[in-house]
Amino acid sequence: MKKADARSRINELRLVISHHNHQYHVQDKPEVPDAEYDRLFRELSQLESQFPDLISDDSPTQRVGAKPLKQFAEIEHRIPMLSLGNVFNEDEMKAFYQRVLDRLNIQEINFSAEAKLDGLAISLLYEQGKLIRAATRGDGQQGEDVTLNARTIKSIPLRLIGNDYPSVIEIRGEVIMDKQDFMAFNEKQKISDSKIFANPRNAAAGSLRQLDPTETAKRPLSFMSYGIGYYSDDVQFESHSEILDRILTWGLPVTTERRRVSTVDECIGFYHEISKKRADLKYEIDGVVFKVDALKFQKIMGFISRAPRWAIAYKFPPEEEITKVVDIEIQVGRTGALTPVARLMPVFVGGVTVTNATLHNYDEVQRKDVRAGDTVIVRRAGDVIPEVVSVIKNKRPAQSKAFCMPQNCPDCGSAVFRSEDEAVFRCSGGLFCPSQCIQSIIHFASRRAMNIEGLGDKLVEQLYREGLVKNVADLFELNLEQLSSLERMGDKSAQNLIDALEKSKHTKLDKFLYGLGIREVGESTARALADYFGTLELIMNASNDDLLAVSDVGPVVAENILAFFKESHNREIITRLQTHNIRWPENIKTADTSLSGKTFVLTGTLLNMTRDDARNKLLGLGAKVSNSVSKNTDYVIVGDSPGSKAEKAEKLGVVILDEKAFESLLSSI
């Protein structure tokens, strides 16, 4: 066959095979028997083998073929992959619905209602219709590059169908394993004496994270879309429902269990309808997601911390089981909080075997009257920590004793105290307490903080008990000889940890702040501090008034921050960390301007810049940006479809600027 004829036939076969892949894996409507499909595939493979220079990476034959990876690379999401807030009953759902109406100042609104898939979230980046990259959710800001593995999933097209898609688009969804496929897969694992997975979600996650793509290809994975992230502006969308419809035409599957609903009664009705279907669906779901349908309203609603205001997950009732409490022990956290934990007779609930359950605090233990030896109902909802729901009193042993909190820390012997305004008891030992030290190091090394790969809980405890690490700065003084001498730590593992420590030195200011473990300074607050001040030095030397100017900081948090940086040993540890060349890009603020110290509030949708862009410009000019309007507000910037903030500003006599006036103000600085 001549090369020109081969090229023509190869292109024809690729189109035909891609069509049959779509019909089989997405539409679930195969048009040809397996034997015919196999014949077409063999013909394409033979032609590509005969003319290797005609092979392209989006050919159906190229789904598997890459070498195994040593590790996954990290990818920064252009738009963060956020989590969803949850509701668990009708009253909470009604409250969410009303919050949306109130924020938008309307009487009724359309939602896109969809079954919530229980899989592993990933994003697929297509450029000019071609699959370029796939990444896991990760921590929401950064995920792992799983492109080679995603290419092995037949329901993920290597090239989009049609030509009405944006030139660049990120399609988001879940990698799942169907219930029947999961059961068959686990049977094979059992026969080969390989790992047995607890549920389809774990099996899907473990399969997608195989370093060898050929191993992933052997797993029965599929993909289902739930929306999009970043996309170029050469194509526009009006609603989320439209997006899902378009995704389907491009060759990607979307759940059939979806509907556009309006009233809160329709929302609740759809939830109950899906709940009844749940057991009969071929894939696992754990609730129903409701998203404000109109994209213009989504923009107005915005986000809070790690979740959008315009969407909610109405979760199914959590799974429950009966077991016995073997004992009640105390765990000491990094802030000294003493948490009672029930040690349980192992029980399979919520897809995993549970041996421990939180009792939250002493008041909760008293309220439920949980005792060692009790028969209890244990609940586990999704990835939430298992908890004891209630005690079956008629099965209580005759000699049982009520639980009492210890007067001294079980780990260091220091006195235990309880503040009047807190429900928790705390150890007074501070960094003298081994548990607090260990937990502070574990927190510092965690993925959402410094992300020191390979430094797990047990290894941190081992390093502490061996006297090699007493605080976070000690981590960066470890050497290969010390680590190699540890039990169950070979030369290779030791070198991997040294490499991970070195890699973690390149971080971000907000992650470093969060890793320090300042009480009540979570990820959102750490990011707000980093964005507002720009440098660690400014944060460390900030006054109470300076801190209160940050939108996410209140009086209690400000007091905690001041107390932390007042302690000389905390400053000493930070200095030691800096000598080890831990660094991040700093957003150094410009000199004082006429806007310095002025407080701005942004409301509505800006046409020529995003709210974040406007906020960053103001912060760079020394202004403060608040989320609420008060008598101390200097300016309110009003975009399209403003909310109640504009009305409040008018009542208070605050200066209101439209976008054009705002741009003029910026250009005059």
Catalytic amino acids? 116
CA terminus-to-terminus distance, the chain: 71
SS3 349: strand
How many residues belong to the chain?
669
Element (H, E) at 37: helix 34-50
Q: How far apart (Å, rounded) are the C-alpha atoms in residues 595 and 463? A: 50
Query: Quick check: 234 and 166 in contact, CB under 8 A?
Result: yes
Q: Residue 600, SS3?
A: strand
Radius of gyration (C-alpha) of the chain in whole angstroms: 28
Helix H, strand E, coil C: the string for 123-178 is EEEEECCEEEEEEECCCCCEEEECHHHHCCCCCCCCECCCCCCCCEEEEEEEEECC
Give the Cα separation of 615 and 666 in Å (integer).
Answer: 12
Q: What angle do CA 339, 449, 484 make, to 5 degrees?
A: 90
What SS3 state is found at 596? coil
Strand pairing report for 319-332 and 337-349: antiparallel
Distance CA 352, CA 57 (A): 39
Which neighbouring-strand residues pair with 127? Answer: 130, 168
Backbone angles phi, psi at 382, to 5 degrees: 60, -125
Label residue 629 exposed, middle or buried (CB < 10 Å: 0-12, 13-18, 19+).
buried
Q: Evaluate whether 548 touches 554 at the Cβ level (below 8 Å).
A: yes
Sign of CA dihedral 237, 238, 240, 242: negative
Name the residue among 495, 487, 425 with its Cα closest to residue 454. Answer: 495
